[in-house]
Amino acid sequence: MGQVRGNNKRFLSDTPEDLQGYGSLEGQGHAESEAQGGFGLRSINPGHNSVLVVDDDPDQARMLERIIQKAGYHVMSCTSPLEALGMVAEKQFSVIVSDYKMPEMNGFEFLQALRGLETDWSMADVPVILLTACGDDLEFAALERGADMFCEKYRADALLAKQIRFLLEM
């Protein structure tokens, strides 16, 4: 189940079917996608569709990068939440995808630090997808603490690009 903020309301999504229509672009251009009845890319900062991946496992970070790039997004990644905070202070991202279990700070701590950053743009408006390799009943806790969506890593290949797309279309 994933959750999304929109118009100050929260929506829960139980299945991948709930995100239908938000599939990957698979190399289609913005205008081409809209002409085919699809959804054009939109983000908080129009024309800026970059995603930051934060995962302490370099192999996982590369795998997540490939999934997101395949969907047509620009991706940057880092293996440290502290490094990610520095990157976010310098560059605006459309969506942030973060692992939950990391050695320097967990995903909740990262999310709290992220939302508290003082930047030229509002960090409260940047959607965050929290990932985990273990269910641990973290989903509702993540959503209660301000994550916009939640994804288990084993489902990332099927859901992550759709979740990003959904958040950008809100």
User: Residue 17 has what pLDDT?
Assistant: 44
Q: Which of 23, 31, 30, 29 is nearest to 71 (CA)?
A: 23
Could you give the CA distance from residue 99 to residue 102 in angstroms, rounded to a whole number?
A: 7
Number of domains in the chain: 1
Q: Which of 5, 111, 91 is nearest to 48 (CA)?
A: 91
Handedness of CA 81, 85, 91, 92 (dihedral sign): positive
State mean pLDDT over 10-34: 35
Q: Which of 27, 68, 28, 58 is nearest to 151 (CA)?
A: 68
User: Residue 19 has what pLDDT?
Assistant: 40
Q: What is the DSSP string of 87-130?
A: HHHHS--SEEEEES--SSS-HHHHHHHHHH---SS-GGGS-EEE
Task: Assess contact for 54 and 99: CB atoms under 8 A.
Answer: yes
Per residue in 76-119, pLDDT (tens digit) is 999 999 999 999 988 999 999 999 999 999 999 999 999 888 77
Question: Where residue 163 sits, what CATH number does that domain have?
Answer: 3.40.50.2300
Range of the domain at 132: 2-169
| SS3 category, 72 | coil
**Length of the chain in terms of residues written:** 170
Least confident of 45-54, 55-64, 91-100: 45-54
